[in-house]
Amino acid sequence: MSTELHRRRRKAPKGGAAGPHWLGQLPYLIVLSGVAAGLVLCSFHYFRKGSVLIAAALLFGALARLLLPESQLGMLAVRSRSIDCWTLVVLGEAVAFVALSVPPMNKTGLGVAAAFGVLIALVFLVRGVRFLLSARGGRPARPET
């Protein structure tokens, strides 16, 4: 007897969607911009406000993943609905917990946190530009090694 494993494949969205293509990426872009804005706030010495904004963006992503169909989620739909929702909720709650429980830092700690936030923001910016350029060219981005 041989047992075959059948993988459940995700169905592609049906053609002729009512909205434009970029509208399907809107929840992902909202989460991504919320995280980026939170990192910018953290880099300008507003650690608590930035971290709370990041947590809110992650929790919004969990809510969007829970309520919207996969055709409207873009890159928020990675794995199954329950795994994506639980991952975003746990990460959002962890960031919110850290934001509300860490005591205020001194000036040196804020400088290091600001430098780290700017570095992360630059990485996100470079990745976003690479993604947009690869999407416009119609070819996939080169895999990193």
pLDDT in tens, 12-56: 555 555 555 666 678 888 999 999 999 999 888 888 899 999 999
Percent above pLDDT 70 for the chain: 73
- Residue 124's nearest CA partner among 60, 33, 48 is 33
d(CA 93, CA 89): 6
Question: Is the pLDDT higher at 11 or at 77?
Answer: 77
pLDDT at site 42:
87
* Entry pTM: 0.60
Q: In the chain, which residue ranges form alpha helices assigned H by DSSP?
A: 26-43, 47-67, 81-101, 107-137
Average pLDDT, the chain: 79
Which pair of structure tokens corresponds to residue 140?
Answer: 């996939």
Give 4 or 75, the one with higher predicted confidence: 75
Q: Are the CB atoms for 16 and 49 separated by under 8 Å?
A: no
**Which of 86-90, 102-106, 107-111, 139-143 has the largest mean confidence?**
86-90
